[in-house]
Homo-oligomer: A and B are copies of this chain.
Amino acid sequence: MKKVKRGLFVGRFQPIHKGHIKAVITLMEKVDELIIIIGSARKSHDLTNPFTIGERVWMMRSALDEAQVNPSKHLILPVPDAIMHSVWVSQIISYSPPFDVVFSNEPLTRRLFKEKKITVENVRFFQRKIYSSTEVRRRMLIGENWEELLPKVVVKIIGVIDGVNRIRELAISDSPFGSKKVV
């Protein structure tokens, strides 16, 4: 079997923005196959995690198609959070084809993989302060121009699922689940 170099790009993608797509394109040059792990698969309908995993898969797939990224060179994988942080890396390993390197800037993600002796490299993000999911959610909440930060097709999907109203209603909720989270 020919050896394939695979890399993992890990995020929650709440939602996918233009910076993510640029990063995917750059990272795909470094490996034969890029596995895009969409984490926190069970979370949705809270302020830091407004979108379901299915919606995020849909956004990612559509945005990569729109950007004409080669579909045979990447793989999108939803992964739920582990019940223990200390087994999360093992869970990622068991959800994915074998991989050689992890791309992430996030300190906890980097630390967890490095404690298991897995190579971790930085991702160079484009204008990180603006192209950020937190910024997108903030703009949605207060009515600023969030659309310019997202691929066109993601803007359309958010329209179809009425996503901006969802995030605004979450912001005023005192839910029966009893937990309110900040942006």
Which of B45, B110, B174, B176 contacts A39 (CB under 8 A)? B176
User: Is A10 in contact with chain B by the CB < 8 A criterion?
Assistant: yes
User: Is A53 in contact with chain B by the CB < 8 A criterion?
Assistant: yes
Is there contact, CB below 8 Å, between B48 and A178? yes
Which of B71, B84, B109, B134 contacts A42 (CB under 8 A)? B84
Minimal beta-carbon separation of A40 from chain B (angstroms): 6
Contacts of A110 in B (CB 8 A): 169
Contacts of A77 in B (CB 8 A): 57, 78
Contacts A75-B57, A87-B94, A91-B87 given: A81-B44 contact, CB under 8 Å? no
Is there contact, CB below 8 Å, between B86 and A90? yes
Query: Which of A1, A87, A91, A108 is most buried by chain B, counting CB atoms within 10 A of its CB?
Result: A87
From residue 151 to 180 of chain A, which have CB atoms closer than 8 A to chain B?
Answer: 153, 156-157, 159-160, 166, 169-170, 172-179
Contacts A106-B175, A109-B176 given: A95-B41 contact, CB under 8 Å? yes
Report the nearest B residue to A33, measured CB to CB.
Answer: B61
Query: Which of A58, A110, A111 is most buried by chain B, counting CB atoms within 10 A of its CB?
Result: A111
Contacts of A46 in B (CB 8 A): 85
Is there contact, CB below 8 Å, between A83 and B42? yes
A106 CA to B1 CA, complexed, in Å: 32
Minimal beta-carbon separation of A47 from chain B (angstroms): 10
Is there contact, CB below 8 Å, between A85 and B53? no
Closest A-B pairs by Cβ, 6 of them: A90-B90, A58-B97, A86-B94, A108-B173, A45-B85, A39-B176
26 A-B pairs in the complex with CB atoms less than 8 angstroms apart? A10-B176, A11-B176, A14-B178, A44-B86, A49-B178, A52-B94, A53-B95, A54-B93, A54-B94, A57-B95, A57-B97, A61-B97, A65-B72, A71-B71, A71-B72, A75-B76, A78-B78, A84-B91, A86-B91, A86-B94, A106-B174, A108-B170, A108-B173, A109-B173, A109-B175, A109-B176
